[in-house]
């Protein structure tokens, strides 16, 4: 079963999106919604709300003060570095900003993207995947209060604060539909349930073996949301019985506490001979077992999203030590990733049509997106920024190499980034 997109992506939807975001950034009602308590943002301050949000969209790989100096040099277009804002002023300004500001801007990005871009589907379904991960947090009392502290290491003698994160991700279009962050003691299943309000009829949600449960299946069934679970070998007798049969495809009734669910059990064989068993609510026989096996391979896209978030964008290289700063950084980077996917969509669509064996280099797109917020949102150079972005990524394409498989290596957990020793 192939993948299909809507009409050719519109170039104009990106300009409309940027204008939409600009109108929100400079709107007083938005500033009032995003302020903490009785705090206020003055338009005449050097770090007003729009400038602060654009600043926090950048990756802070260098020292905070150096990042501030570089940012304001680009903003003011000066030839030399001039101390405009101190890191103390940044600390005071961001203490007024709710992390939800980035969630609101990201929601606008998603709405405009799905209305105007060439959206890929699997048949009639919007394909989405759920998976979780963990991140190492800074050492600060507010972090310990909100996220807790756990002991790690061979002897459980290394205290550290960590967070559990979870994404509801659209792998065919590269969009994170929902992102959750909580303490390490929160399970991935608990975070998964927080994604459910963002799931809608017409969605087909993919899960790995960890998430399979009758309760979750029933919840999705009642919402008329379709699902595809990869199943554990020992999950209920119905799976064990199906594995013993020669059939590759079977429709059964699952007995939930609230009622019966009719599902389809499927076997799909990988090139290495491994047999995967799936449980899905999609009963249409036009989708073969091989189609589901091919579809499930797209779940790897969420793993790539985590790699991008943690390695390329350096989520764990936080721009502040407090729990508030952690949440701001988390949601701002999700927003930036989605904005990059929206911007890259028309070029990616064109490359797929002209050179089907090639694809855009997403890392180059993200690198370009890191420097675009200033000209896009603060300078108003929309058409020039879009042209420069398109020119770069259309010339930086990679050949698609299908059926490549690498053994997953589990590395010991370590702190990648030090808050005290940033790069120059």
Judge whether 331 lies within some domain: no
Cβ atoms of residues 100 and 34 within 8 Å: yes
Judge whether 193 lies within some domain: yes
Judge whether 226 lies within some domain: yes
**Cα–Cα distance, 372 to 380 (Å, whole number):** 11
**Cα–Cα distance, 253 to 111 (Å, whole number):** 37
Paired tokens of 217: 């299946």
**Cα–Cα distance, 368 to 320 (Å, whole number):** 24
**Cα–Cα distance, 329 to 56 (Å, whole number):** 7
pLDDT at res. 151: 86
Judge whether 3 lies within some domain: no
Paired tokens of 198: 């963002």
Q: What are phi and psi of 80, to 5 degrees?
A: -120, 160
| Residue 133, H or E segment | strand 126-136
Instruction: List the domain range (segments joined by +) for residue 186.
Output: 120-300
Nearest alpha-carbon partner for 97 in 173, 30, 192, 170: 30
| Residue 77, H or E segment | none
**Cα–Cα distance, 321 to 91 (Å, whole number):** 10
Cβ atoms of residues 56 and 123 within 8 Å: no
Q: Which residues of 239-270 are buried (b: 16+ CB within 10 A; e: fewer)?
A: beebeeeeebeeebebeeeeeebebbbbbbee
Number of domains in the chain: 1
Judge whether 284 lies within some domain: yes
**Cα–Cα distance, 233 to 277 (Å, whole number):** 8
Q: What are phi and psi of 279, to 5 degrees?
A: -125, 125
Cβ atoms of residues 399 and 373 within 8 Å: no
**Cα–Cα distance, 163 to 135 (Å, whole number):** 5
Kindly give, in sequence order, each residue whose CB lies less than 8 Å from that of residue 266, ignoring residues fewer than 6 positions away: 248, 249, 277, 278, 279, 280, 289, 292, 293
CATH code of 224's domain: 3.90.350.10
In the block, tokens 């205290």 appear at 159
Quick one: the chain helix, strand, coil %, rounded to 5?
45, 20, 35
pLDDT at res. 215: 93
Judge whether 279 lies within some domain: yes
Judge whether 99 lies within some domain: no
**Segments of 326-379 assigned E as strands:** 358-360
CA distance readout (Å), 359 to 84, 349, 380: 41, 9, 29
**Cα–Cα distance, 169 to 302 (Å, whole number):** 6
Judge whether 361 lies within some domain: no
Question: Mean pLDDT for each consecutive 10-residue tract of the chain (424 residues)?
Answer: 54 89 93 85 77 92 89 87 88 94 97 91 96 95 94 82 97 97 96 97 96 94 96 84 89 88 91 88 94 94 94 92 96 96 89 82 88 91 90 84 60 60 58
**Cα–Cα distance, 367 to 59 (Å, whole number):** 10
CA angle 331, 332, 335 (to 5 degrees): 85
Paired tokens of 44: 């005449």
pLDDT at res. 238: 85
- Report the predicted TM-score, pTM, of the whole model to 2 decimal places: 0.91
Side-chain half-sphere CA neighbours of 254 within 13 A:
23
Nearest alpha-carbon partner for 67 in 53, 49, 81, 46: 81
Strand partners, 423: 62
Rounded to an integer, what is the distance from CA 157 to the centroid of its chain? 33
286, with CB counted inside 10 A (0-12, 13-18, 19+), is exposed
pLDDT at res. 7: 46
pLDDT at res. 123: 92
- At residue 175, the 3 state secondary structure works out as strand
Which DSSP letter does residue 320 get?
A: -
């Amino acid at each position: 079963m192939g993948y299909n997109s809507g009409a050719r992506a519109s170039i104009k939807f990106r300009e409309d999106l940027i204008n939409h975001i600009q109108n929100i950034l400079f709107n007083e009602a938005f500033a009032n919604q995003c302020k903490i308590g009785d705090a206020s943002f003055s338009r005449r301050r050097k770090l007003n709300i729009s400038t602060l949000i654009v600043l926090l969209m950048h990756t802070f790989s260098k020292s905070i003060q150096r990042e501030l100096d570089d940012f304001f040099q680009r903003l003011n277009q000066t030839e030399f570095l001039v101390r405009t804002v101190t890191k103390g002023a940044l600390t005071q300004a961001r203490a007024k900003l709710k992390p939800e500001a980035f969630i609101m801007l990201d929601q606008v990005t998603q709405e405009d993207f799905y209305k105007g871009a060439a959206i890929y589907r699997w048949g009639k379904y919007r394909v989405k995947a759920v998976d979780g991960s963990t991140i190492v947090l800074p050492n600060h009392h507010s972090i310990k209060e909100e996220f807790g502290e756990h002991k790690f290491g061979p002897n459980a003698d290394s205290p550290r604060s960590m967070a559990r994160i979870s994404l509801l991700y659209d792998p065919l279009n590269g969009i994170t539909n929902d992102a959750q962050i909580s303490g390490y003691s929160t399970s991935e299943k608990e975070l998964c349930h927080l994604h459910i309000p963002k799931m809608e009829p017409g969605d087909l949600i993919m899960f790995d073996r960890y998430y399979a449960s009758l309760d979750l299946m029933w919840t999705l069934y009642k919402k008329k949301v379709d699902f595809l679970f990869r199943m554990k070998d020992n999950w209920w007798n119905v799976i064990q019985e199906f594995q013993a049969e020669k059939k590759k495809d079977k429709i059964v009734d699952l007995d939930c506490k609230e009622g019966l669910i009719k599902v389809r059990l499927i076997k799909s064989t990988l090139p290495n001979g491994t047999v995967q068993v799936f449980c899905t609510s999609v009963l249409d026989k036009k989708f073969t077992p091989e189609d589901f096996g091919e579809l499930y391979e797209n779940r790897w896209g969420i793993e790539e999203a985590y790699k991008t978030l943690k390695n390329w964008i350096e989520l764990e290289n936080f721009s502040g030590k407090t729990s508030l700063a952690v949440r701001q950084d988390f949601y701002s980077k999700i927003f930036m990733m989605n904005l990059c996917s929206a911007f890259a969509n028309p070029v990616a669509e064109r490359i797929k049509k002209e050179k089907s064996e090639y694809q855009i280099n997403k890392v180059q797109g993200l690198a370009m997106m890191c420097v675009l917020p200033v000209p896009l949102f603060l300078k108003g150079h929309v058409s020039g920024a879009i042209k420069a972005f398109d020119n770069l990524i259309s010339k930086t394409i990679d050949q698609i190499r299908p059926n490549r498989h690498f053994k997953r290596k589990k590395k010991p957990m370590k702190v990648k980034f030090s808050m005290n020793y940033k790069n120059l």
